[in-house]
Structure 1
Amino acid sequence: MSLSTHVLDATSGGPAVGVPVVLTSGDTEIARAITDADGRARLGETGPGVHTLTFATGDWFAATGRQGFYPEVAVTFTVFDPGRHQHVPLLLSPFAYSTYRGS
């Protein structure tokens, strides 16, 4: 299964460039990435099961000269079909976030 994410900054209405992201399964780190100029990151291949994407939002807000309430956002999800691409977007603001299963 391939996995990607897209982080959008709800305050600016644009992509969140330079957000560090780590993909883990249990205690095992699978991949690391940093969002690109469009706020996107590809995290490679992984198998079925429970996985977590952890976004270093506190570091990102500090780097952009802003203060955020959440030092990190962890999105835990289950992959049932390893043959299907998984896309996990994150909509981010200093005091809120939301996510959903993308396509």
Structure 2
Amino acid sequence: MTTVSTHVLDTSSGRPAEGVPVQLDQLTDGEWKAVGASRTDADGRAKDLPEPDLASGTVLRLRFETRGPFFPEVAIVFEVDPAQPHYHVPLLLNPFGYSVYRGS
């Protein structure tokens, strides 16, 4: 069992980004398939994404509908190890840049 969570912070305001739609997709047989979706809470966290079926593939994608003027969407593609129980992938976002990292 491997779960995925994320956290979105607006670095221009120094605050969590509330209400950002997030979708978790999985690469299966060369095609992206939706696993499920969530929306960030008041703390900027999406904690309720469904668990991917890693027997179908270990490459995942988080898509954030940021609706910004420069970055209307941010997509993060990453590979997971089925032996790891959890992946936390935070997004640090501002109107003209973003960064991601593997959190804990």
Task: Give the alignment's TM-score, normalised by structure 1.
Answer: 0.86
Gaps of 5+ in 1: 62-67
* Counterpart for residue 98 of structure 1: 99
Cα distance in 2 for partners of 1:82, 1:25 equals: 17
1:53 maps onto 2:66 in alignment: no
Superposition RMSD in Å: 1.2
Cα distance in 2 for partners of 1:51, 1:82 equals: 15
Cα distance in 1 for partners of 2:93, 2:50 equals: 23
Alpha-carbon deviations, 1:45-86, whole Å to 9, x = none? 12251000000011xx4xxxxxx3111000000001344211
Structure 1 position 44, deviation (Å): 2.5
Paired letter, 2:65: A
Paired letter, 1:95: F
Contact map agreement 2:5 2:88 (CA 8 A) in 1: yes
Q: When the two structures are aligned, how many residues end up with a matched partner?
A: 95
1:44 maps onto 2:50 in alignment: yes
SS of the equivalent of 2:71 reads coil
Q: Which runs of 4+ in 1 moved over 6 A?
A: none
Structure 1 position 2, deviation (Å): 1.0
SS of the equivalent of 1:11 reads coil
Percent identity of equivalent pairs: 53
Structure 1 residues 2 and 93 mapped into 2: Cα distance closer, same or farther (>3 Å)? Answer: same
